Structures are given as C-alpha cells and as structure tokens.
Amino acid sequence: MSTAVPTADGGTPNDMSIFRHIPGVKTGGGYKVGQSVYVGDAPDAGPKISRTLDKTATSTGNWTLSWWYKKGPPTTSQKSMFTIQKANGQKPNTHISNDTSGTDPEPHTLVWNFADDYYQSDVSIDDYSAWYHFVVKIRGSQQSFYENGIEMFMRSTSFVDYPPTTGDIFYFDSNESEQLGNGYFADFHFIDGQALGPEHFAAEKDDKWLPIPYTGDYGNNGFRLEFEDGNDIGADSSGNGNDFTTSGMTPDNIVADSPTNNYATWNPLSVATDGGSITLSEGNLRLHGEGWARTDSTIKFPKTGKWYAEHLVMASDGGYDVGATKVSIATSLGPDVANVGNNALSWYPAGQEYQVVTNGGTAVPTAAPGAYPLVPGQTISILFDADANTVSFLVDGGTFSSALLDQPVPITDEYYGFGMATYNGQNWTTNFGQRPFTYTPPEGYLAINSQNMENT
C-alpha cells in the first residue's frame, strides 16, 4: 500500500505525490535499476572512472548523455558529474555549484560548461534524499538539458567542438581542486550519433519519473555503465566493449541504492548544532562530530513495520546518542536539540553504564558498570518496531537492551527516523542497508528503503 512519508528536510508529511521529482519510489513491477556506484568525496591523483575513446565518432554533430544521480556530501567547492577532456584542451562538463557558501554562483545550482560556453542555470539540485535523472541532448550547435523529464534550459553556441571522438577522455571525478566528483551514479548512457530526449530512458508512471530500458543503438563510442559488478565497475553493457578503467575503486563502491529503490542516508539539510559540527562523507554514510551536534536520516519510518540499521564505531572520544528521533526536531527546535535523547529514544553512555532515554527525557539504566565505552570496530544496531512501539539496541549482534516508548508512535502529525547526536570527537559509519549488513537482522526487520516501505 502507499504510505505517507515526511519530506526530506523533516517537514510536514505528504502523500506519495511528493516524489514526482524525487525518484526512487517503487510503483510495482516494471524495470528495475539494481545498484549504483559511489564516486568519492575529494580530489584524487587521477580520475576514478575513465576511458580514452578509441573510435571515430558516428556522427558529425549528434549525441546524447543520460544518467541518474544522487548527491554526495556538502562541499565548499563545485561537484563535477562528468567531464570530457578533448584533445584541444576543452573540457565540456556538467557540475553542481558550491554547496555551502557564496552567491556567485548560487549554491546547489546546475552549471553547464561546454567548450567556451559557461552557463550558470537556475536549476536547483538541493535534495540529498533524491535521485535525479539528467539528459543532455546535443544536436549540432544546440544543447538541451533535461531534469526528470523536463527541459530546464537550451543553449546554442558556435564554440561547440563536437562530437566526442578518438583521443578524447571521458571521466567521472577530477583531480582539479575546484571540481570534485561526488555522488552516486546509476544507469549511465552515452549515445554516439543520435540526439535523443529523456523519453528514451525514462517515463512517468503514477506521477513518478522512473527508468525504462533503452532499446536503441549506441554508435561507435557509445556505452552503458550499469555498475553491476564490483570487480569490474567500468564494464560496458552496451555490447560495444567500450569498458572504462577504474582507480582506487573497490566492490564497496557499489551499493544497492538506486533510482528504483532509494535508501536512507544521513541528511545534511537536517543538522542542528550547539557550538559543534557534523561532517558527512562517503555518500553521507560516514559521520564525524565535533562538539555538540545532531542529524537524522533522510527517510523516516512508516507508521507500521520493523526497521533496522547498523552503526560501526570508527572512533569514540566523547559522548553520543544514537537511536530514533522525532522528525519535528529537525527544523523546529534548532540548536537546542543537540541531545537526541531528550527528544526521542536513544542509547548513550552515562558514567560507567548505558542508558535508554525515552521521549520525555527519562533515563533507564540498562547495563552493569564497566561496559563503557564502545571501542572502534564494534557495531550497534538500532531496531525500530512501529507496530509494538519499541526501540531495541544490539551490540555486535547480541541483545543488549530495549525500551518501551512512553507514548504510541503518533498516527497523524509526528514521524520518527534514525538519529545521531555527538558531543566530541565521534566517527561512525552507518549502513542503512545499501550494503550487506554485518549481522542478520532479527526476523521481520527490514532496511529502510522505498521498496520495503511500499510493501509495508
């Protein structure tokens, strides 16, 4: 059944129609994209995924790019989604402007840089929970850019040095400090010799924009990257054999997060601080906290079902709360909510024992002295049971403690999501299910993703 879910920034819940331009909601049956590749957070010595084209272009002026993209962590620099390094030095690319500061260009907007045509658009890409579909259609000197099936802008320039051909280098990620390859990519197509619109790669169904199979030709240099094989990430599945080379990539870069099954991450748009900070990395799944700060997950729990996530301790030099938190605290209470435990259910060290804190701030001792602290390498699992109104905590897969909510999960106006608060020097890596869990979840508990939510 369809389940109402809150907006990504923790706002008022809406029906499923809010996902018209936030793809990733299962609609039953149909074409599925099973995975994506995460391309890093910062500049490297060289491109992470690249190919030097070795064939003459099919056409003198027509080509198409189609890909799905989900944003990585915030940066103070631009994020290039792809770049084509041409023999004459030109670098056609599409990138997202500075995330966190500056007015020129505006944060979160799309920049089109084709040869000598630099265009700062007003297309906003600011939702970290969203899968976006982009299509670039080149027909001679005319370039059209589409987001989720809608033409956002069109450019016409005589500076176009087209098309990609022998000797040009196509790559994700960049070693230039101002352009950071950063985000999740899925189902990337390059069509050499045809100028195609988005209807060839996706379609609207039940008011949602979803992938469909591409059935046409790819041309000489064309390729399709599905990122299916963690041991051969750059494999071309178009039939052309135009494989890419990877550098510094491992099977862990492949995740189940995709445009047809969207997984939760930590939410950069929902961070409250009280003299501290939270830095997210590795696809918004690794969290570093300094001082007092908190965040919560991009996807919130439905009102039914059992939900599971794991948090691996990377470094623990101070206090923390980890558990389930009310969506409303994400935006309405501001920096005074650094302690997740005072507003939700959380598990935290207190002196020489652990305590579970309920909604009203009531602390319940749950462990004998001497259990503090967790050490790097240990995993704490959070189990949220919306049917029984309980949150349970497991350490390294063993039952540790549980607590009954002091009031039922609200039916109409409040939602919960995974939450994390840090007090000093914390490093955690979270798995919401986009990678295999370290421990088998107890019976009935599921990863929080759009497909599982739709089936609940």
- Identify which has the larger pLDDT, 19 or 453: 453
pLDDT of residue 170: 86
Please determine, for residue 371, whether its predicted confidence score (pLDDT) is greater than 70: no
Q: What are the backbone dihedrals phi and psi of residue 454, each rounded to the nearest 5 degrees, phi first?
A: -65, -30
Please report, as a single letter, which amino acid is at residue 400.
F
Quick: pLDDT tens for 138-172.
898 888 889 999 998 888 875 555 688 899 888 87
- Alpha-carbon gap, residue 296 to 342, rounded angstroms: 14
The region of weakest confidence among 8-22, 68-82, 284-298 is: 8-22
As a whole number, mean pLDDT of residues 9-37 equals 52
Please report, as a single letter, which amino acid is at residue 173.
D
In which band, very low, low, confident or very high, does the pLDDT at 262 lie, cut at 50, 70 and 90?
Answer: very high
pLDDT of residue 212: 95
Mean pLDDT of the chain: 74
- The residue among 60, 61, 57 whose CA lies nearest residue 143 is 61
Output b/e per residue, 405-417; b: 16+ Cβ within 10 A.
beeebeeeebbbb
Neighbours of 424 (CB within 10 A): 15
Quick: pLDDT tens for 300-309.
888 889 999 9
Residues in a beta bridge with 138: 63, 143
pLDDT of residue 344: 46
As a whole number, mean pLDDT of residues 47-51 equals 82
Quick: pLDDT tens for 183-241.
899 999 999 999 999 999 999 988 889 999 999 999 999 999 999 999 999 999 999 99
Domains of the chain (ranges plus CATH)?
A: 23-255 (2.60.120.200), 266-455 (2.60.120.920)
How far from the centroid of its chain's Cα atoms is residue 341's Cα? 26
Query: Do 130 and 59 form a contact (C-beta atoms < 8 A)?
Result: no
Q: Note if the pTM is more than 0.75.
A: yes
Quick: pLDDT tens for 387-426.
877 777 777 887 544 443 333 333 334 567 888 877 777 7
Please determine, for residue 121, whether its predicted confidence score (pLDDT) is greater than 50: yes
Length reported for the chain? 456
- Alpha-carbon gap, residue 9 to 270, rounded angstroms: 6
Sign of CA dihedral 2, 8, 14, 18: negative
